Chains A and B, each alone.
Chain A
Amino acid sequence: MAAKEKITGINDVDIPADKLRQMYYDMLMIRRLEEKSAQMYQQGKISGFCHLYVGQEAVAVGAVAALSDDDYVMTSYRDHGLALARGMTPNVLMAELYGKATGCSKGKGGSMHLFDVEKNFIGGYGIVGGHLPLAIGYGFASKYRKDNRVTACFFGDGSVAQGAFHESLNMAALWELPVVFICENNMYGMGTHVKRALAHDNIYDQAQAYDMPGYQLIGNNIFDVYLKVKQAGDLARKTGTPTLIEARTYRFRGHSMSDPATYRTKEEVDEQKGKDCLTVLKDALIKEKICKEDEFKEMDSEIKKIVADSVEFSEKSPEPPLDALYEDVFV
């Protein structure tokens, strides 16, 4: 288990300085966009279910940095962060939350169903664990076509209790499908603590049942996320062996915008906020003299401007035309 080993640091990863800076930028983009989403939700501009990724940014950004652009990436309904990390523009993301025609899914998907096929971000799925079988389907297709691509499938700790999780891991291992399963264990499936949902809460141990490598890591440590996902991706690409990664993380906000998260103490949340993944990376960048304090301020104002622009873009965008109602039902 990683926690007992030496903590992976910035010098343990072979990432160039400009890419490290970009990774921080991408994480901050997610943070600011999510904060804006919350604000716009409260103003009634965004409706439905809206699950924010605040606190978990290092998992998405670290993992995507370790993957190739050709690799497929998919996740659950808590999908804003990964979509951005994969390169979806804030404009089309925010417009989708607004339900506008310019959204990534033409306003038909909403917060939980973001897609960007060109960036190989293949979704945004609303049923807990329901997309894991799709991931092995993509893995199967890659093996069938020998296209050397890996599928990275993200999901929450809630999925681990689902049959879909176990059936998918079994078949991925059995058939050597190039899939990296990344469980973002944020400790709560909605309001239920993982200890009240799983008989054995070291999720990565499930890998043993399916004869595949399993790692547990601290999800606020982006270097560790990068390293393990890189290792798992390389293994899958080379041998087809899937890996289960459990990234221990924490969402700073409730399950969704309608959840005040009264099942957690203020102390618990504050303690986690004290280990913010943004601070971890920022401190390392400063320590290694890759960025100066001023640069972070510049980044932040640039990002805030982009996020504000995405709101303006969404406000000004048209609603989907009513003709669109019956479009895209069939090919």
Chain B
Amino acid sequence: MSTQTVAETNSKVKEVTFREALNEAMAEEMQRDPNVFLIGEEVAEYNGAYKVSQGLLEKFGPERVKDTPIAELAFCGLGVGAAMAGLRPIVEMMTFNFSILAMDQIINNAIKIRYMSGGAFKCPLVVRGPNGAAHSLGAQHSQSFESLYAYWPGLKLVVPGTCKDAKGLLKSAIRDDNPVIFMESELMYGWKGDIPTEEYTIPLGVGDIKRAGKDVTLVAWGKMVDLSLKAAELLEKDGISAEIIDPRTIRPLDETLIFNSVKKTNRCVVVEEGHRFSGVGAEISDRIQQNSFDHLDAPVIRVTQEDVPMPYAKNLEYASIVTPEKVVQAVKKVLYIK
């Protein structure tokens, strides 16, 4: 696998899990800036529902690592108000499924306060937590929210796909003066990967080529990056060379990186964990056809979750989610291979 990363800061690396990478990012930023605090359900004494905040209570104390009642609307809104007042809150959603309860606070307050006040306020807020499907969690705990948040001007949306990206992007998100939604994944928390031993950040809005190739462009983010790498390996066996573009942040979107790849490969498949209708992939496909129409040898195809709520039964769940095989099938379609 050839990886070309923007913030290649040094050669010394260490292996960490995805959750450790996130934990390091928060710990470093809390150390650096006393205005940064973490708030959410079970983040303190329980050390995080998914152990992302392990050890932070001990390190920073109960004023800065704060367990909340189960009241997403209020503790997320509290984060918005505290950010307006000059603090830098990290609001942990136990999962993004519960963020729907806080959506008024995110959309109507966090995102719009700057614009509707004519620039009087900043809202340096990070709302982070796991997004998308895990295993056998059923309809209310397995859904992807990128498109719901990507819709709004004024918000940044980060969806890291590797341990290294997770740490570097979270540090940038915490330092950003705008509200940032930061989406992780239950299934990825245990994944391992190398990160630099030295401190580093990765800027928001800069995508990454996760695999170089020449025959087809796969656009994938979050958990779909790894899945697309698996699909690329399968395709390699058939002599098809796939390039994987990971935008890393949906807003701002590094569309130039996508366009340049499509101009090279002339074919594109967008791999999105969430539903098809009004998905992020629809936006990306639209931008590709607007910008690179003459370079396309086939229509852009989107691979998404099936258009149904997530079922519980293992076989139905597997039939519903995106798989490497579905990606391979889509690639063959844009290459007109039967």
Residues of A within 8 A of B (CB): 72, 103-109, 113, 115, 117, 122-123, 125-127, 130-142, 144-145, 163-164, 167-168, 170-171, 174, 327-331
Contacts and interface: CB of A to CB of B under 8 A. Distances in A.
Contact of A329 (B77, B81, B122, B153): B153
Nearest to B109: A134
Nearest to A136: B78
B108 A130 contact: yes
B1 interface: no
Interface string B78-93: 1111111111010000
B109 A131 contact: yes
Given A164-B77, A170-B69, A171-B74, A115 B82 contact: no
Interface stretch (B22-30, B111-119, B129-137, B304-312): B111-119
A145 B89 CA distance: 13
A136 B115 CA distance: 22
A327 B118 CA distance: 8
B44 to A, nearest CB: 13
Contacts of B84: 122, 134, 137-138
A103 B119 CA distance: 12
Counting from the closest, the 9 A-B pairs by CB-CB distance are: A137-B81, A133-B77, A106-B118, A167-B74, A141-B85, A134-B81, A331-B177, A328-B119, A105-B118
Interface string B39-80: 000000000000000000000000100001101011111111
A60 to B, nearest CB: 20
Contacts of B286: none
B104 interface: yes
A137 to B, nearest CB: 2
B114 A328 contact: yes
Contacts of B74: 132-133, 136, 164, 167-168, 170-171
A130 B116 contact: no
Contacts of B154: 329-330
A144 B83 CA distance: 12
Contact of A136 (B77, B121, B153, B156): B77
B337 interface: no
B71 A167 contact: yes
Contacts of A126: 108
A328 B87 CA distance: 20
Give the size range of B's interface with the partner: 35 or more
24 contacts: A105-B117, A106-B119, A108-B116, A108-B117, A113-B116, A115-B117, A117-B121, A126-B108, A130-B77, A130-B105, A131-B109, A132-B74, A133-B75, A133-B76, A134-B77, A137-B80, A137-B89, A138-B82, A141-B82, A141-B85, A141-B86, A163-B73, A328-B115, A331-B122
A136 B78 CA distance: 6
B143 interface: no
Nearest to A162: B73
Contacts of A330: 114, 154, 156, 178
B117 A329 contact: no
Contact of B81 (A105, A113, A141): A141
Contacts of B177: 331
A138 B87 CA distance: 9
B195 to A, nearest CB: 28
A108 B78 contact: no
B37 interface: yes
B151 to A, nearest CB: 14
B109 A130 contact: yes
A126 B108 CA distance: 9
Contacts of A104: 118
Nearest to A179: B81
Contact of B73 (A113, A135, A167, A174): A167
Q: Could you say which of B78, B104, B154 has the most chain A C-beta atoms within 10 Å of its C-beta?
A: B78
B79 A137 contact: yes
Contacts of B69: 167, 170-171, 174
Contacts of B120: 105, 115, 117
Contacts of B89: 137
Nearest to A115: B117
Given A108-B115, A109-B116, A113-B116, A137 B178 contact: no
B117 A113 contact: yes
A138 B71 contact: no
A196 B79 CA distance: 33
A100 to B, nearest CB: 11
Contact of A140 (B76, B81, B116): B81
Nearest to B177: A331
Given A106-B119, A126-B108, A131-B109, 4 more contacts: A108-B115, A125-B108, A133-B81, A171-B75
Contacts of A171: 68-69, 71, 74-75, 78
A138 B117 contact: no
A171 B68 CA distance: 8
Contacts of A174: 69
Contacts of A164: 73-74, 77, 104
Contacts of B37: 144
A127 B108 contact: yes
Nearest to B152: A329
A211 B81 CA distance: 23
B317 to A, nearest CB: 32
B153 A138 contact: no
Contacts of A108: 115-118
A115 B75 CA distance: 23
Contacts of A163: 73
Contacts of B122: 331
A174 B75 CA distance: 12
B97 to A, nearest CB: 17
A235 B85 CA distance: 21
A142 B63 CA distance: 12
A135 B85 CA distance: 10
A130 B118 contact: no
